[in-house]
Amino acid sequence: MALDLKLNITTVDNCGNIMIEDLTGFYESSSNEGGWGSFNLSPLVTEIILHAQIRVFNYMDGEYYDTPLLFPILHGVEGQSFPAENSYEGFKILLTADQIYLALNSAIEALDIPFPESLENAWEFIEDTAYEVNILAQYVEEGSDAITIVSAGRCFYGSTCITEKKVEKLFTSIDVECEDCDDADLSKALLAKSLLKNLKATIPCHL
């Protein structure tokens, strides 16, 4: 069986970054056949090169954008950490709002399509939208010039961090000790919380 990565994706640092974590673990014949280990590699494979491919689904200025971005996964790169120097197993990748913003700018310019005004200002926060995270594995085989690239793990992730903060603000603005107050604010906050819960259920990270 091929390497089958299990990923955990979260919006962290006050909505400023996305964290991608590898939770795959090592190969176990009975419980983790897609884990890391020589069982999932051809004897000829001498190296694995990983990339994080991220598709950002945006609706900006009345236009729909489905923009693919590519980030190399490498030891020594800022924002990336690995438990072992000679392995990818257990990697953590921190992508900042600024990194994604700059990559989006470059990608949209390269596609030669109308440039959205929404991207004229740098991002301070990760946008609440859907992201497809796909970890691509390039296998390097001894004595071969062939390039084999496969998907080792794909996950759809919906960031709702900014919306969650807005919903929290609704609740903090309610005077719960006021007995004669109109309960419209509370009803609005409860509705927002319910809608947010449903939204989070529709765009989870599929392992």
Domain ranges of the chain: 7-159, 162-207
Say what the pLDDT of residue 99 is. 95
pTM of the complete model: 0.82
Say what the pLDDT of residue 207 is.
42
Q: What are the pLDDT digits (tens) for 121-147?
A: 889 999 998 899 999 988 777 777 767
Q: Kindly report the backbone phi and psi dihedral angles of residue 152, in degrees, each rounded to the nearest multiple of 5, phi listed first.
A: -100, -5
The tens digit of pLDDT for each residue in 42-83 reads 554 567 788 999 999 988 888 888 899 999 999 899 999 999
Instruction: Between 85 and 199, name the one with better pLDDT.
Output: 85
CA angle (124, 130, 133) in 5-degree steps: 95
Segment holding 170, helix H or strand E: helix 161-172
Give Cα separations from 18 to 54, 72, 128, 159 (angstroms).
Answer: 11, 15, 11, 9
